[in-house]
Amino acid sequence: MWVTWSHARNDLTGLISRPTGVHASGTYAEVHQYELKDSRKSTKLIAAKSYKPTSYEKIRSEIALLSGISHHNVVPFLGFKDDRGSISLVMSWMSGGTLTSFIRTHGEALETPDKSTLLHDIASGLQHLHSNFVIHGNLESDNILINEQHRACLSGFRQSVKLSSMEAGCPRSQMPRKPAIQFAGPEWFAGRNDTRSQSLPNSLFKSDVYSLGCVIFYIFTKCMPWGDDASSTDISDKLRQDITPPRPKGSVIDDKQWDLIAPCLSHVPQRRPQDLLKRIQEYLVYVGPCDLSGQITLPQAIARERGGYGDVYELIWNRKTGGEVKVAVKIMRPMYTSSEDLAKNLKRELAAWRRLYHPNIVPLLGTSNFPGGIKGMVSLWMENGSLEKYMNARENGELPSLQRLQWAKDIAGGLKHLHEFPIIHGDLTPLNVLIDNEGRAVLTDFGLSVILGGFASVSCTYTEGKPGTVAWAAPELFIDGASLINDSKDVLSPSPSKESDVYSFACLMYLIFSGRHPWVVRHEAELVNIISRVRSGTRPPNPGIEARYWGLIVQCWAPAPNSRPTISKVLQQLQ
């Protein structure tokens, strides 16, 4: 068999059951749905893409490429299936189908925030490919799949090429074929003497950007860039004349949407934007979250969880695009703040949350208005609950060391994503770390988040904190322990920072690797003593944590904020 030993560990043949009967056919391959049994004997649906015999050679490079790509907006590659010499690539099953079928089926139900979320997903996946020097080569609506949460993932890597750098040219022997014509840039149709044709091997990343512009066009208009009925001959003739898809007439696309599309469609590849994902993130904030009002009912129920600013309810979202989804709805509590403060806190949290999509951050699905002027923030319900709850439900010895290390990496990865915006979490405790259905640690509750720059004028105070929060807070955030206990609003502590987040992360590492809280707070009277000790530089002793992790904890909770490592460096040490 041609598969090398290095790929043998990805052989899933013995774990895959008979096909379910669901399948789809393409030009080069057929996709069948199977059940995959994992080591815990649970099953999940997977897709096995079996190539036609003439395409077998292409599987070699595709497996090698997919094995090196891991991103939440790229269809997960699980391995391969060998059926008597017929090789199939095994991927996660995407229940929403292709972007083409999804738009045709649900296009009328998609509102602007829904569409902007999809295009953010696609741009995020493409940026990840490009940051790893991978050219997609055929970015079109049939090569974008929609998962169970109705988020977009890139697929269809048959024409993809990996280069040595962003500046490297693609060898002529590895040049991909033309992309699907509705998504292909004019450089693919330029004459031999045209400089664009000659420089095409050096502008393939920019060709992907053109295709992305066409995808954005399709998402916003629900029509192909050249029209659903345009012939290949008509399209190629226009592209040879440097004519790119025109802006639709009327109000189909507004100015801000066209400002995202038009630069991508420039007939000069070098003029196409490099910062498209950033522009899309800004657009996400501009349009705001999805309005799910009327799709979620708030019964007379008791809150499942209580946070510093709001209560969390477990409810059901009847999704416009089909299906019921269990969600967590956070309702801000006005009893702790004035109505003006409530509006400010909600706006701040939504603005921060809307820009975030990362496997270790709970995604914001939208907001919902309820009777009585109540507004809630909607996210996926995490059945496993918080890190605190999950660890309390298990004996310390039941958690493998690899699981503990992975949680530390998860939290550091989510925090790194926040800090890159830059966003400060500001309330990092084991109650604000949830365990998702895959066992990953994910960050939530940005109630004390501060966005540097645009939101720098918003101050956060630990005089608003609760005992549980204070026990995980950095020493520089406290001015006076008595002020905290007396609930004074006259004295403000310094705003949380990246450095104070790193201190809180050290406390979480202490909990994860030891199973103990760094400080035990049974009642508010103990807080003054704990705060005094923390501010004086006292830290809990090592309860038996492995030396390499203990050394990192000590670095992260150093008394001087500027002595603490960045979360990026922390993550590097954990790898």
**Alpha-carbon gap, residue 467 to 525, rounded angstroms:** 10
Confidence at residue 414, expressed as pLDDT on a 0 to 100 scale = 95
10 within domain boundaries:
no
Confidence at residue 204, expressed as pLDDT on a 0 to 100 scale = 95
Q: Which band of pLDDT confidence, cut at 50, 70 and 90, is reported for residue 422?
A: confident
- Number of domains present in the structure of the chain: 4
**Domain identity same for 66 and 119:** no
**Alpha-carbon gap, residue 122 to 144, rounded angstroms:** 8
Q: What is the mean pLDDT of the chain?
A: 83
- In terms of C-beta density within 10 A (0-12 exposed, 13-18 middle, 19 or more buried), how is residue 229 classed? exposed
CATH number at residue 42: 3.30.200.20
Please answer whether residues 380 and 363 qualify as being in contact, where contact means their C-beta atoms are separated by less than 8 angstroms: yes
Residue 210: left if φ>0, alpha if ψ -120 to 50, beta else—which one?
alpha
63 within domain boundaries:
yes
Q: Where are the beta strands (DSSP E) in 385-495?
A: 423-424, 433-435, 441-443, 450-451
Which residues span the domain enclosing 454?
386-574
pLDDT at 261 over 80: yes
Range 251-278 average pLDDT: 94
Confidence at residue 480, expressed as pLDDT on a 0 to 100 scale = 56
Q: Which band of pLDDT confidence, cut at 50, 70 and 90, is reported for residue 51?
A: low
- In terms of C-beta density within 10 A (0-12 exposed, 13-18 middle, 19 or more buried), how is residue 448 classed? buried
9 within domain boundaries:
no
Range 549-557 average pLDDT: 96
**Domain identity same for 308 and 442:** no
255 within domain boundaries:
yes
**Domain identity same for 267 and 254:** yes
pLDDT tens for each residue of 157-196:
989 999 999 999 999 888 989 999 999 999 999 887 878 7
**Alpha-carbon gap, residue 575 to 412, rounded angstroms:** 11
Tokens of 245: 């898809």
**Domain identity same for 344 and 469:** no
Q: Which band of pLDDT confidence, cut at 50, 70 and 90, is reported for residue 509?
A: very high
Q: Where are the beta strands (DSSP E) in 139-259?
A: 144-146, 152-154, 161-162
Confidence at residue 470, expressed as pLDDT on a 0 to 100 scale = 77
Q: Which residue shows structure tokens 């992260």?
A: 556
**Alpha-carbon gap, residue 74 to 136, rounded angstroms:** 11
**Alpha-carbon gap, residue 52 to 86, rounded angstroms:** 9
**Alpha-carbon gap, residue 255 to 290, rounded angstroms:** 20
169 within domain boundaries:
yes
**Domain identity same for 280 and 301:** no
Q: Which band of pLDDT confidence, cut at 50, 70 and 90, is reported for residue 419?
A: very high
**Domain identity same for 268 and 299:** no
Tokens of 362: 């709970």
Confidence at residue 522, expressed as pLDDT on a 0 to 100 scale = 74
Confidence at residue 83, expressed as pLDDT on a 0 to 100 scale = 73
Please answer whether residues 128 and 74 qualify as being in contact, where contact means their C-beta atoms are separated by less than 8 angstroms: yes
pLDDT at 346 over 60: yes
Q: Which band of pLDDT confidence, cut at 50, 70 and 90, is reported for residue 372?
A: confident
Please answer whether residues 473 and 465 qualify as being in contact, where contact means their C-beta atoms are separated by less than 8 angstroms: yes
Q: Which band of pLDDT confidence, cut at 50, 70 and 90, is reported for residue 478?
A: confident
- Where would I find the H helices in 385-429? 387-392, 401-419
Residue type, 392: N
CATH number at residue 219: 1.10.510.10
pLDDT at 21 over 90: no
Q: Which band of pLDDT confidence, cut at 50, 70 and 90, is reported for residue 450?
A: very low
Confidence at residue 1, expressed as pLDDT on a 0 to 100 scale = 36
**Domain identity same for 375 and 390:** no
Rounded to a whole number, what is the largest CA-CA distance in the chain?
81
Confidence at residue 183, expressed as pLDDT on a 0 to 100 scale = 96
pLDDT at 437 over 90: no
Residue type, 196: R
**Domain identity same for 463 and 547:** yes
Confidence at residue 5, expressed as pLDDT on a 0 to 100 scale = 33
Range 64-88 average pLDDT: 83
Angstrom distances, CA of residue 317 to CA of 111, 182, 322, 534: 16, 36, 10, 44
Look at residues 380, 413, 431 and tell me which one is the last residue of a structural domain: 380
Range 42-67 average pLDDT: 71
Look at residues 325, 350, 380 and tell me which one is the last residue of a structural domain: 380
**Alpha-carbon gap, residue 374 to 386, rounded angstroms:** 25
pLDDT at 433 over 90: yes
**Alpha-carbon gap, residue 425 to 432, rounded angstroms:** 10
Confidence at residue 8, expressed as pLDDT on a 0 to 100 scale = 46
**Alpha-carbon gap, residue 136 to 158, rounded angstroms:** 9
Confidence at residue 458, expressed as pLDDT on a 0 to 100 scale = 31
Range 424-430 average pLDDT: 89
Range 450-479 average pLDDT: 56
| Residue 73 φ/ψ, nearest 5 degrees | -110, 20
**Nearest in space to 149 (alpha carbons), one of 351, 321, 24, 367:** 321
Comparing 289-303, 428-442, 465-479, the range with the smallest average pLDDT is 465-479
| % of the chain exceeding 90 in pLDDT | 45
**Domain identity same for 444 and 509:** yes
Range 275-289 average pLDDT: 89
pLDDT tens for each residue of 213-258:
999 999 999 999 998 788 999 999 999 998 889 999 888 899 999 9
1 within domain boundaries:
no
pLDDT tens for each residue of 119-170:
999 999 999 999 999 999 999 999 999 998 899 999 989 899 999 999 999 9
| Residue 175 φ/ψ, nearest 5 degrees | -60, 130
**Alpha-carbon gap, residue 211 to 156, rounded angstroms:** 14
6 within domain boundaries:
no
- In terms of C-beta density within 10 A (0-12 exposed, 13-18 middle, 19 or more buried), how is residue 150 classed? buried
pLDDT at 6 over 90: no
pLDDT at 552 over 90: yes
**Domain identity same for 315 and 438:** no
Q: Which band of pLDDT confidence, cut at 50, 70 and 90, is reported for residue 452?
A: very low
**Domain identity same for 23 and 134:** no
| % of the chain exceeding 70 in pLDDT | 82
Look at residues 230, 265, 287 and tell me which one is the last residue of a structural domain: 287
**Domain identity same for 253 and 338:** no
8 within domain boundaries:
no
Q: In terms of pLDDT, which residue wins out, 556 or 356?
A: 556
Range 294-312 average pLDDT: 72
Grouping H, G, I as helix, E, B as strand and the rest as coil, residue 386 is strand
Angstrom distances, CA of residue 505 to CA of 378, 499, 568: 26, 10, 12
**Alpha-carbon gap, residue 262 to 246, rounded angstroms:** 9
